[in-house]
Amino acid sequence: MGKIGYVVCGNSGIDYIDHPYDIRVFRSQLLVGDKEYTDFIDIKADAFYTMIKENPDLHPTTAQTATGVMLETYEAMRDEGYEDIVVVTISSKLSGTYEGAQMAANMVENVNVSVFDSKTVGYNEAHMILEAARLGEKGKSVTEILDHLNWIRENQGLLISVDTLKYLVKNGRLSGASGFLGSFLKIKPMLMLSREGKVEPVEKIRTRQKAIDRVIEKFVHEFYDDAMEVFIIHGNAFDMLEQVRERLTSAIKQSTIKDYPLTPVVGAHAGYGALAIGWVRKK
């Protein structure tokens, strides 16, 4: 069996996770005013969230990894002896990264590149590439790895509370938002990643505490089962983090609930204080 390489986009937050695998990263660009930052290299989560909290009038925007950079990554991996490359990207409904990665895959020669649309973001996406690398280390084929990634994609989810919708609305990342727009600055809605990988509104909620309460309640009563790994993803939501962890631990009797930061490029859309309960069912 040929040597398999692994690539994931930085929207997964893989940079904030300790792991033993050689996983390459497609890094997006963060644009704030007249400054441009490469995600994680030039700016990390804490610094970014401090920036937008202290300067609420900032309107950060993002740019995906250039297709040429992706092609160079594939070519470098080919030259290192990889015969196959498995690439996991952020949801194609949230970014053009999947399309760019596929375009580069069609351009590269003498290496087989399989681009997988995670239809999600954050740790859910990171979990997929980590599982791909784990299976590859055990000698599984690319076909077997992709079959497993498909299974994970159908057995994971995110329920999200954002402190403001202004970033999602301004950057065009919120589907079905018409019912929210009239008063979007006044509500703390619950959102969800749909099966298609879109951010969709679930409920209008008027206060932050009630929004967090509903996210926990909905997850515990409608989604949770004992065969899940449960985690928290957040944009420096330290005011709510331990409360949510303690309440989840009590409700679902899971002793360890880890938390992961939303990387700045994702935070440019979710905003300061965003918090999500995520899950992946164990196979």
What does the pLDDT look like over 247-268, one tens digit per residue?
A: 999 999 887 999 999 999 999 9
pLDDT surpassing 60 at residue 175: no
Q: How does pLDDT run across 63-75, given as a tens digit for each residue?
A: 999 999 999 999 9
Mean pLDDT of the region 188-196: 91
Beta strands in 27-152 (DSSP E): 29-32, 35-38, 61-63, 84-89, 112-117
Q: How does pLDDT run across 19-41, given as a tens digit for each residue?
A: 999 999 999 999 998 999 999 99
d(CA 280, CA 154): 9
Asked if residue 232 and residue 146 are part of one domain, the reply reads no
DSSP label at residue 43: B
Smallest CA-to-CA distance from 71 within 29, 115, 31 is with 115
Report residue 60's pLDDT band, with 50, 70 and 90 as the boundaries.
Answer: very high
Q: Does residue 34 lie in a domain region?
A: no
pLDDT at 185: 57
d(CA 3, CA 82): 5
CATH number of the domain at 104, please: 3.40.50.10170
Of 102, 123, 153, which one is at a domain's C-terminal end?
153
Q: Does residue 42 lie in a domain region?
A: no
Of 105, 124, 153, which one is at a domain's C-terminal end?
153
Of 133, 153, 173, which one is at a domain's C-terminal end?
153
Report residue 184's pLDDT band, with 50, 70 and 90 as the boundaries.
Answer: low
Report residue 182's pLDDT band, with 50, 70 and 90 as the boundaries.
Answer: very low
Asked if residue 88 and residue 19 are part of one domain, the reply reads yes
DSSP label at residue 184: T
pLDDT surpassing 60 at residue 180: no
Q: How does pLDDT run across 3-22, given as a tens digit for each residue?
A: 999 999 999 999 999 999 99
Q: Does residue 52 lie in a domain region?
A: no
Q: Does residue 164 lie in a domain region?
A: yes
pLDDT surpassing 90 at residue 1: no
Domain that holds residue 240: 156-281
Q: How many structural domains comprise the chain?
A: 2
Asked if residue 88 and residue 207 are part of one domain, the reply reads no
Reported pTM: 0.95
pLDDT surpassing 50 at residue 106: yes
pLDDT surpassing 50 at residue 99: yes
Asked if residue 260 and residue 172 are part of one domain, the reply reads yes
Smallest CA-to-CA distance from 160 within 116, 118, 198, 130 is with 198
Percent of the chain with pLDDT over 90: 82
Q: Does residue 218 lie in a domain region?
A: yes
Q: Does residue 37 lie in a domain region?
A: no
Asked if residue 174 and residue 275 are part of one domain, the reply reads yes
Percent of the chain with pLDDT over 70: 94
